Amino acid sequence: MGIDFKSITDKIIVSGKNYEMPFSKGLLARSLTAAGMKPSEAYMVAKEIEKTLEDEGYESITKDELRKRVYYYLLTKNYESIAEKYLLWRRILKKHPIIILIGGASGVGTSTIAFELASRLGIPSVIGTDSIREVMRRSISKDLVPMLYESSYTAWKSLRIPSLDDNVCDKHILGFERHIEPVLVGIESLIDRSLTEGLSIIIEGTHIVPGFMKEKYTSMPNIITIILTLSSEKMHKKRFSARAKVSARPMERYLKNFEIIRKINQYIVDRAKENDVPIIENVSISQSVEKCLEIITERFNYLDKTENGENGEDDMY
């Protein structure tokens, strides 16, 4: 038996197949910003639509009807491109769980961009690969996989090779590769669960490296990988300084290993180029988020044209 929201609130009730909930300007605004509208404009549009519905005496409205109202409202206000993206995103999110993988070396901003995207897209789960690594440490001993107990830039210290000729093999990159391999098992398991349960998720971190994941994941159009980078070493160092001010992670350790981190950054970028994975120069957070949304929208267009999934239920307008 559902909750009678109308008896406890004056809000217009929005109903879907499996739920009812009070109209939320914030929820609608989030959908509009995901389609490319500025947050301030999106909230004003949501406010105007709510007022229009109230003036017309609506006490309840279906989600599909609300979306039509939003779409035609956007057209009347000359937001044609946003109107089309708005409907496209609603169609795709209704049919498919979306898995977004954000990779990049330490300090390039993968977690910041991931959380910004999650907010814009209404994706409830953001998982860092460092968290996956911590979980795996609880089940895999250090003696068995010593690289798992190191950072991406110190994993080379655990290589079981007496000596390495730098002209033959780069020990820092070899250590990094050995470091990410076991974490990928956890990442792929998390993707499998998300696909099975039909839940969208964003996974971010250094362990997202193009070319390492199984082909069955890279060939799925609803799994989208994006790599972040910083070409400027000066800016990269500043990011560590800024991060140290708001977290417990000491800047000194990163700066001590900065040359290795830069080497890993270039390695990930090179792998992305080899595998035709989009690369974003993460200088401006807002611009990077917009570029990510463009990449995701382009993939949505492909999905919309080539696939016919079963209609599901999503919690956005």
- Average pLDDT by stretches of 10, the chain with 317 residues: 50 82 88 84 92 91 90 91 83 81 96 91 90 91 90 90 59 93 94 91 96 90 94 92 69 89 97 97 93 88 64 57
Identify the residue whose tokens are 């559902």.
2
Distance, CA of 119 to CA of 114 (rounded, Å): 9
Output the pLDDT for position 120.
81
Which domains does the chain carry?
Answer: 5-95 (no CATH), 99-306 (3.40.50.300)
Output the pLDDT for position 314.
56
- 3 state SS for 238-281: HHHHHHHHHCCCCHHHHHHCHHHHHHHHHHHHHHHHHCCCCEEE
pTM of the model: 0.78
Pairing of strands 20-22, 13-15: antiparallel
Output the pLDDT for position 130.
93
Output the pLDDT for position 95.
75
Output the pLDDT for position 35.
83
Output the pLDDT for position 1.
46
Give the length of the chain.
317
Output the pLDDT for position 3.
54
CA distances from 291 to 29, 228, 295 (A): 19, 11, 6
Output the pLDDT for position 90.
76
Which residues are CB-neighbours of 60 under 8 A, at least 6 positions away? 6, 12, 13, 14, 15, 20
Output the pLDDT for position 316.
66
